[in-house]
Amino acid sequence: MGKRRKKSTQITEDKDVRLKILYCGICHSDLHSVKNEWENSTYPILPGHEVVGVVTEVGSKVQKYKVGDRVGVGCMVGACHTCENCENNLENYCPKYILTYNSLNYDGTKTYAGYSDHMVANERYVFRIPDNLPLDAAAPLLCAGITTYSPLKYFGLDKPGMKVGVLGLGGLGHVAVKFAKAFGAIVTVISTSPHKKKEAVEQLGADSFLAAMGTLDGIIDTVSTALALVPLLSLLKSHGKIIMVGAPEKPLELPVFPLIMGRKIIAGSGIGGMKETQEMIDFAGKHNITPEIEVIPMDYVNTAMERLAKGDVKYRFVLDVGNTLKAA
Ligand SMILES: NC(=O)c1ccc[n+]([C@@H]2O[C@H](COP(=O)([O-])OP(=O)(O)OC[C@H]3O[C@@H](n4cnc5c(N)ncnc54)[C@H](O)[C@@H]3O)[C@@H](O)[C@H]2O)c1
Ligand SMILES: [Zn+2]
Ligand SMILES: [Zn+2]
């Protein structure tokens, strides 16, 4: 692994940017992956796709960045750039996309990611972090941010007055509340944990905590385990939508009648394209949207994973890689 790691930290292409990693968020997908819950993990895995840091080197043809710039890398580091999805700035739906970790580069080498000191990525997959956003709190935007921003926009839930439900108040869910509020939506947190009510309303700005039947235009479902859909469908108005971003390993049961009654929609959404990711980060900068984080040292990572599995985090762990990673 040492040899491959070394290779992945060298500038190999003209359009590559090397960054010194300072912070990396811990996404529940990291946990699914290290535990092989999706049954697609190939070890060794070096997780982390909410990566932020500072540019230390640029390839000869890099145009967007220079040494010293504050940047981030999200869930992807490559795609084919020729298919219909790529041509429409939807690299995230490219059939040949390359994930930041647990994936293969086109040369067959493995990708390793953010729980690490350095990283190299093509400039198309590198994002600029606005000066007013603290780097540690900006990290979760790279996955949790775009994963919730993109479906709110695509499914038309970004209009003032829309009644938006957010299911699961974890890393993704709490950012969904912040973006939906910034779009002017009326936001309801749907949670099975009554103790989360006070914070959801007072700290995150949600308008209410539990929704009444037939009242919501859309629900962003961020839950990491399989939950029943029927009670959720009953919360929707006619034409309401449930957008699944949570990625449980087990399938969900889908009775059809509650869909037919009211022309309701269940859809999925995966991160977002590179153009939209930069747009989301700039929007967060403009509206001062920062995730709520608990900054932790590298040697706390296993405890953090255990706490994340229990839902014991408010609301995102961020590894202080720059100050606490002791390179071997
Ligand atoms: N679609 C995408 O592109 C995308 C991107 C990032 C993460 N994800 C997935 O989204 C999910 C959430 O990620 P996260 O980082 O926000 O995780 P998280 O652990 O921070 O949040 C998940 C929330 O779901 C709640 N939850 C879990 N099981 C529950 C249950 N049975 N009933 C009620 N609530 C329950 C937890 O309490 C927690 O609040 C994960 O499955 C992750 O893999 C998908
Ligand atoms: Zn993620
Ligand atoms: Zn493509």
- For 189-203, the pLDDT digits (tens) are 998 888 889 999 999
DSSP state of 293: E
Instruction: State if residue 223 touches ligand 1 by the CB under 6 angstroms criterion.
Output: yes
pTM for the model stands at 0.95
Low pLDDT (below 50) residues in the chain: 1-8
Residue 50, C-beta contacts closer than 8 angstroms, at least 6 positions apart: 24, 25, 26, 27, 72, 74, 114, 139, 140, 141, 142, 143, 144, 316, 318
SS3 159: coil
pLDDT at position 328 is 55
Helix 171-182 and helix 274-286, axial crossing angle in degrees, nearest 10 = 70
Instruction: State if residue 323 touches ligand 1 by the CB under 6 angstroms criterion.
Output: no
> Cα of 311 to ligand 1 centre, how many Å?
9
pLDDT at position 1 is 34
Q: Give the integer Cα–Cα distance in Å for 55 and 227.
A: 42
pLDDT at position 4 is 41
Q: Would you state the structure tokens that stand for residue 84, as one six-digit string?
A: 């219909």
pLDDT at position 55 is 98
First to last CA, the chain: 13
pLDDT at position 13 is 80
Mutation test of ligand 1: which of 26, 28, 276 has the most ligand atoms closer than 8 Å to its C-beta? 28
Instruction: State if residue 70 touches ligand 1 by the CB under 6 angstroms criterion.
Output: no
Q: Would you state the structure tokens that stand for residue 77, as one six-digit string?
A: 């580091």
Question: CB burial class (10 A; 0-12, 13-18, 19+) of residue 277?
Answer: buried
Q: Give the integer Cα–Cα distance in Å for 220 and 316.
A: 18
Instruction: State if residue 32 touches ligand 1 by the CB under 6 angstroms criterion.
Output: yes
127 DSSP β-pair partners: 72
pLDDT at position 327 is 67
Q: Would you state the structure tokens that stand for residue 187, as one six-digit string?
A: 């936001």
Ligand located closest to 75 CA: 2
pLDDT at position 6 is 40
Residue nearest to atom 26 of ligand 1 (CA): 223
Question: Residue 147: which of 128, 170, 130 has the closest Cα?
Answer: 170
Report the largest interatomic distance among the alpha carbons of the chain, rounded to a whole angstrom.
Answer: 60
pLDDT at position 10 is 59
Residue 303, C-beta contacts closer than 8 angstroms, at least 6 positions apart: none
pLDDT at position 11 is 66
Render the burial of 157-191: b for 16+ CB within 10 Å, e for the rest: bbeeebbbbbbbbbbbbbbbbbbbbbbebbbbbbb
Instruction: State if residue 100 touches ligand 1 by the CB under 6 angstroms criterion.
Output: no
pLDDT at position 33 is 96
> Cα of 110 to ligand 1 centre, how many Å?
26
> How far is CA 180 from each of CA 172, 187, 224, 321, rounded to the nearest angstrom?
12, 7, 20, 30
